[in-house]
Structure 1
Amino acid sequence: MSMGSTPFTFVDLFAGVGGFHAALGALGGKCVYAVEKDREAAAVYERNWNFRAHGDIIDDTETRMRVPEHDVLAAGFPCQPFSKSGFQRGMDEARGTLFWNILRILEARRPTVVLLENVRNIYGPRHKHEWEVIVRSLRELGYQVSSRPIVFSPHLLPPERGGRPQIRERVFITATYVGSEHSHADVEPSVLRQPIDGWSPKSWELHSDLPVQPDKELGNRLRLNLTSAETTWVEAWNDFVLSLRRGGVSKLPGFPIWVDAFIHMDDLVVPDSTAHWKATFLRKNAEFYTRHRELIEGWLERWDYLRDFPASRRKFEWQAQDAESLLDTVIHLRPSGLRVKQATYTPALVAITQTSILGDLQRRLSPREAARLQGLPEWFDFGDQPESATYKQLGNGVNVGAAYHVFREHVRKTIRHVRRRAPGLAEAVYAGALSPDAAVERYWDPERPVILRVRRPSGANIQTAG
């Protein structure tokens, strides 16, 4: 239910630092309840949105509902296994999981629109049952939802639509309340997995589109610089690329390179019991080594055959097409090896220590740059918490531009139903900008007058009292 001059209200569950809050707030929505159990993330949420997130998802007891009425329920919920016993109704099968708590709120409050986000694998074969339960449960409660997910990434959006140079494919589940008589008919997903407005993701240029922070803004860079061992790994594999380039190898292999699989084809023996994927991998490496043996042996000798490198750093994945060296790439130190990509868009931020490395600057992305990748505004402040916590929160977060686009498109596709139950929400979406970056957001502080924060397209910010 919209309140006063507020066009619509929303609740923010599993809120993190507030990616959904940024997206829905950009349309004029007012948060009336938020939940985040991680204390550090909740502190960041309150610091920036002037709104305290609760630690409980729904209620104090089994009888008192804490979540007030609202127009939109947003949640980046964790995926948990659901019961497969018997032929139960969807809500019963979800009992005991965190998703069950969402269903209880929907059953009690019936908000007009539901916006959920999860990892891509929730629609994969290992989670087929969970997906079916989610769809069936929503339909039982009267929500129209597609049986196919929305899979979307911010790199598919142009900059003027709130896009960011980060490939971050996530599953969005969008649902609109239509009543149980009409909710079981299947519908098309509101958003397709394709570039928007003719945008080409290859057009991203990380340094200018992010933009990358200049050194003078970073202060003490030691925390971002590579360790001595990391520098050695990068230098060694850069020498590998340069050696091949000098030797006339114009196209580097697209399959993973593994030093431990370098063997002459005449000496290669692949047991019949070897898995097909591994046999192919071994043959390709042997063929590559045999074809360029002289170049590769010269490189290996210079780096003592990578004897001191851990196993994961003896593997290399080139995904940077025609880049001349690692200085022209974005580097990712992964458990599966050292992967390099073109300096167009980054791999997805993750909630562990695989922060992308800018090849030309030989440093990791800064927390501010990581926040930009997630679409958070320039004024967003993480306080004095450890940077490891900031990276974790951003890796777990919802991308603002992707969430804004998916929500906006879904409301427009179901506008007839939305307008009937939440006219303020319908009008807010139609009046809203194409991008959350262009929005003016209001924040209330009892100690200060209303502050208007405006983000200009250039990334500069102005603050004016109103």
Structure 2
Amino acid sequence: MSTEPAFRFVDLFAGIGGFAAALTAFGGTGVYSVEIDPRASRVYELNWGHSPLGDITHDATDSVMNVPEHDVLAAGFPCQPFSKSGAQRGMDETRGTLYWHILNIVQAHHPTVLLLENVRNLAGPRHLHEWQVIIETLRAEGYRVSETPAVFSPHQVPPSRGGRPQVRERVFITATYDPDGVGDDFAPEPAVTPSTRIDGFDPSSEWSLDDFLEPDHHASGCELSTAEKLWIDAWDDFVQLMWEARQGRRLPGFPLWADAWPTTAAKAAELAEQIDSHETPSWKRDFLTKNNAFYDANRQVIDRWAARWGVFTEAFPPSRRKLEWQAQDTPRLWDCVMHFRPSGIRAKRATYLPALVAITQTSIIGPRRRRLSPREAARLQGFPDGFTFGTQPQAATYRQLGNGVNVGAVWNVLKAHVSRDEAILKTTPEGRRIITAVLDAPDSPDGRLRELFSSR
């Protein structure tokens, strides 16, 4: 890789450096980064050589601009509520939000490409107003940006292209500076969509989670407690009993809740009263009715199972008396990926994982009989094994990875965007350098990142 920077980038709300990983692998050089969390900043410093610790609300204001000129602006900005006061639309309505500080930088420097990322909900109906404010303010600054959200997940991309077995839908806002309207003759479509399939990859059948996991059943700090093993053993027995009792028919898709089964006359009367009550929400009536019917059809097997495992004792708190089966024809619970949730034990096929989250719902890998390790979680976000988290607690690492952007998703989104706007980018020296760096880069960032971190 050339030692000369292909382009300059800034990394806002930098976290531990998901954007930095992708943009550095493309040959870019960071000229400014900022992150308010001290622990995340320390991890960033350990891996990228400088600390981003700071506050964008101090560095990009009406009167202060500490962000230098750059070619690519990347930001996984938090989605704060936008003010809806007043009848005006546009700039005034972004004040008081972190997006306003991004807009200050855009107005000061007009970088060639913008690459913004946010949670899937930003493109939902509850945030239509905020979405329109972002699109309209960027267009007012001369940017070509699609009004249709670009929603993308790393599980849509094959591993050869930097994809990962993690369903992590995020909204990407990609924009190209086009003050002269070079691209006005063709409407800007989103660079990617939820239906994008690179190289015809089928995520429903072609992923192997094992490729990203350690072979060992043991990983320090990832062990299951005795109680957790008991809960899984009990429901694993339940799953196998139901396969036999139902003659190979899969479990129903609605949550199975032991406390909603009429196991005694008193409970049956109580549940019947709830079902018949107009005060019970329709969704709950439906839920109770289905559980009632399921129990009636399998009463003898369920009663013996519940007694054998003590399901209605203190050993099973209410949230562990629920099973959300989303694993289709998987024959055993221990063959699944699981999450302990307030709504119950959720089980999925061990193909790809739900999104890593910044809370304590770390995936349990049934075949490994333990939780996903921090290193495995880092792999699922696209970081090479040489990426270090220092000596911080594992909980901090899980939280940072759950808050982060997926490297392979960034890589493929930027490639798609540059390909879409190539005709516009060709008109400026900065744009031509970005084209060369991005479109001539390998299909995947993985090789370059392994090389980069192995040399440190």
Superposition TM-score, scaled by structure 1 size: 0.90
Task: Determine the structure 1 residue equivalent to 2:146.
Answer: 146
Residue 76 of structure 1, CA deviation: 0.5
User: Mind listing any 5+ residue stretches in structure 2 that lack a counterpart?
Assistant: none
Q: Is 1:425 aligned to residue 434 of structure 2?
A: yes
CA separation of 1:332/1:440 partners in 2, compared to 1, >3 Å: closer, same or farther? closer
Change (3 A) 1:418 1:278: same
The separation in 2 between residues aligned to 1:360 and 1:418, in whole angstroms, is 48
The SS at the match of 2:59 is coil
Residue of structure 1 equivalent to 2:386: 379
Change (3 A) 1:60 1:72: closer
In structure 1, what residue type is equivalent to 2:49?
N
One-letter identity of the residue aligned with 1:268 = A
1:60/1:262 Cα in 2 relative to 1: closer, same or farther (>3 Å)?
closer
Which amino acid is the alignment partner of residue 162 of structure 2? G
Q: Does 1:401 align with 2:401?
A: no
1:390 aligns with 2:392: no
Taking the aligned partners of 1:176 and 1:40, their CA distance within structure 2 comes to 33
CA drift at 1:60: 7.8
How far residue 435 of structure 1 moved from its aligned partner, in angstroms, is 0.8
Instruction: State the shift of 1:51 in Å.
Output: 2.5
Q: Is the contact between residue 371 and residue 394 of structure 1 (CA under 8 Å) also seen in structure 2?
A: yes
Distance 1:299 1:383 in 2: 46
Tell me which amino acid in the other structure corresponds to 2:448. A
- Please name the residue that 1:188 is paired with: 189
Match of 1:362 in 2: 369
1:261 and 2:260 equivalent? yes
Is this contact kept in 2: 1:141–1:180, CA < 8 A?
no
Paired AA for residue 11 in structure 1:
V
Distance 2:240 2:83 in 1: 54
Residues 98-247 of structure 1: pairs in structure 2 closer than 5 A: 98-179=98-179, 187-194=188-195, 195-201=197-203, 202-207=205-210, 209-214=211-216, 218=219, 221=220, 223-247=221-245
Of the structure 1 ranges 431-440 and 100-109, higher mean CA displacement relative to structure 2 is found in: 431-440
Q: How many residue pairs end up in the alignment? A: 440
Residue 438 of structure 1 is aligned with which of 420, 425, 447? 447
Report the CA distance between 1:183 and its aligned residue.
8.4
Q: How many Å apart are 1:352 and its aligned residue?
A: 0.6
Aligned amino acid, residue 110 of structure 1: H
Deviations 1:137-190, CA, capped at 9 Å, x for gaps? 111111111111111111110010101111111111111111276789852111
Q: Residues 368, 4 of structure 1: CA spacing in aligned structure 2 closer, same or farther, 3 A cutoff?
A: closer
Provide the rounded CA distance (Å) in 1 between the counterparts of 2:181 and 2:116.
23
Do the aligned residues in 1 keep the contact of 2:21 with 2:449 (CA within 8 Å)?
A: no
SS in 2 for 1:253: coil
Moved more, 263-272 or 274-283: 263-272
Deviations 1:251-301 (A, max 9, x none): 111111111111389973412332222222111111111111111111111
Match of residue 448 from structure 1: none
Q: Secondary structure at the match of 1:45?
A: helix
> In 2 relative to 1, CA 149–25 (structure 1 residues): closer, same or farther, beyond 3 Å?
same
Query: Which position in structure 1 is the counterpart of 2:282?
Result: 276
CA distance in 2, matches of 1:25, 1:296: 56
Residue 445 (structure 1) aligns with: none
User: What letter corresponds to residue 439 of structure 1 in structure 2?
Assistant: R
Q: Name the CA distance, whole Å, in 1 between partners of 2:75 and 2:455.
A: 32
SS of corresponding position for 2:231: helix
Which stretches in structure 1 are left out of the alignment for 5+ residues? 442-451, 455-462
Judge which range, 343-352 or 250-259, deviates more. 250-259
Q: CA deviation at 1:87?
A: 2.7
Equivalent residues of 1:83, 1:93 under 8 A apart: yes
Consecutive aligned runs of 4 or more in structure 1 exceeding 6 Å deviation: 182-185, 264-267
- SS of 2:117's equivalent in the other structure is strand
The structure richer in helix per residue is 2
Change (3 A) 1:407 1:112: same
Counterpart Cα distance in 2 of 1:230 and 1:440: 37
Percentage identity across paired residues of the two chains:
54
Maintained 8 Å contact 2:14/2:35: yes
Which moves more between the two structures, 256-265 or 26-35? 256-265
CA offset at residue 104 of structure 1? 0.2
* Secondary structure, aligned partner of 1:305: coil
CA deviation map 1:59-104 (0-9, x unaligned): 2875331111111100000011111122324221011111100000
Alignment CA distance shift 1:424-1:91 (3 Å): same
Cα distance in 2 for residues equivalent to 1:145 and 1:180? 14
